[in-house]
Amino acid sequence: MESFGGRPWPAACLAAAVLGLASCSASAPPPKQIEPYDRSVSRWMEETEANLVNAWGIPQKTHSMETGGRVIEYIRVRSGQTLCTTRFTIDGHGLVKKTWFRGSDCRVPSPS
């Protein structure tokens, strides 16, 4: 099954895509656009948060977890509209353990 940001596409979306019908979600880019970004995000698995922040810049949000880790979030916004949200789950040792993203225009940010 195809996935979007690490999550399976609903069967209705796949059926619509196969039949060439209108997109079932305005925020779901074609798989060809997802794959390069997915590789850019997934490459950070088991890397340090420090290296990620050095490459991507300071995240827009950080959420502490009871387990001692945290989730850091990068948000791409244009004209007040969220184009992409990317999250990295960091464990208590500072290593990336999970990634997730969703949006219609995901790009690797340039550090400021």
Question: What confidence score (pLDDT) does residue 42 get?
Answer: 95
Predicted pLDDT at 50:
96
Confidence of residue 70 (pLDDT cuts 50, 70, 90): very high
Q: Percentage of the chain surpassing pLDDT 90?
A: 59
| pTM (predicted TM-score) | 0.69
User: Average of pLDDT values for 56-74?
Assistant: 94
pLDDT for res 35: 82
Sequence-distant (6+) residues with CB within 8 A of 12 are 24
**Residues with Cβ within 8 Å of residue 63, at least 6 apart in sequence:** 70, 71, 72, 73
Higher pLDDT, 9 or 96: 96
pLDDT of residue 112: 59
All structural domains of the chain, each given as residue ranges with its CATH number in brackets, are: 28-103 (3.30.1450.10)
> What pLDDT is recorded for position 29?
55
What is the C-alpha separation between 15 and 7, in angstroms, rounded? 17
